[in-house]
Amino acid sequence: MHHFDEIFTMAANRHGGPGALNEKLSKPKSITELAEMPDDRWLSIITKTIFQAGFNWKVIENKWEGFETAFDGFDVGRCAFMDDEKFDTLLQDKRIVRNGTKIAAVRDNAAFLLELRQEGGVGHILGGWPSTDYIGLLAMLGKRGSRLGGASAQYAMRFAGRDSFILSQDVTARLISEGIVDKAPSSKKAMAAVQDAFNTWMDQSGRSLTEISRVLAMSL
């Protein structure tokens, strides 16, 4: 496995040098910022990610104002206690993408966030989860959330601004090249190997998961 400095150099050589590469690297929000993010914004981001999955992202983006209105600004309480009448109304609402299973996921994830609110706070838990156990956060989201398995949870956390890696095709290709995995990671063992590698690179560089993930992607 290459030292992170070597991988950074590979990426820099492909993207105009170290300075140009650094300008392309966004840093995650602070734990304090994430803790202060309102619960409705977490639900909005999670919902947007779920609706984008397997669909044209631009269509969802163009409709998003309608989503916000249709789902009452993603008020967690209102969405969690959505009754059948509201659900049926949403199934006919042309302001949104009328996918019944994804609409149901909004209700389920709102209920999940209410649980987190009682357990210490949505932002505190999702934003404060240690980056050295990011795979533990993904596993928790996949188990307790709705439609948050695989890449959806990874993108939701990135869009929320929390420290994260995304196992995109390019990142996975670099991980395979480094001998960390031999295919797209999905098993607990493979995900643990990925986390160990990212932890090593964090120690070597002092950079966040978010920055390291982007550098890996741009190194090919």
157 falls within a domain: no
DSSP codes joined into one string, 206-220: ---HHHHHHHHHHT-
Look at residue 53 in the predicted model and tell me its pLDDT.
94
Consecutive 10-residue averages of pLDDT for the chain (220 residues):
98 98 97 98 98 94 98 98 97 96 98 98 98 98 95 97 98 98 96 98 98 97
Q: Are residues 50 and 128 in the same domain?
A: yes
**Residue ranges making up the domain that contains 97:** 32-133
* Segment 36-77, tens digit of pLDDT: 999 999 999 999 999 999 999 999 999 999 999 999 999 999
70 falls within a domain: yes
89 falls within a domain: yes
Distance of CA 22 to the CA centre of its chain: 22
Q: Are residues 112 and 36 in the same domain?
A: yes
CA distances to 122, 125, 129, 174, 218 from 150, rounded to whole Å, are 21, 20, 18, 19, 22
Look at residue 190 in the predicted model and tell me its pLDDT.
98
Q: Are residues 96 and 18 in the same domain?
A: no
144 falls within a domain: no
User: Of 113, 133, 153, which marks where a domain is finished?
Assistant: 133
Q: How many domains does the chain have?
A: 2
156 falls within a domain: no
142 falls within a domain: no
114 falls within a domain: yes
Q: Are residues 82 and 9 in the same domain?
A: no
Look at residue 128 in the predicted model and tell me its pLDDT.
97
pTM of the complete model? 0.95
Look at residue 92 in the predicted model and tell me its pLDDT.
97
Look at residue 150 in the predicted model and tell me its pLDDT.
82
The CATH code of the domain that includes 103 is 1.10.340.30
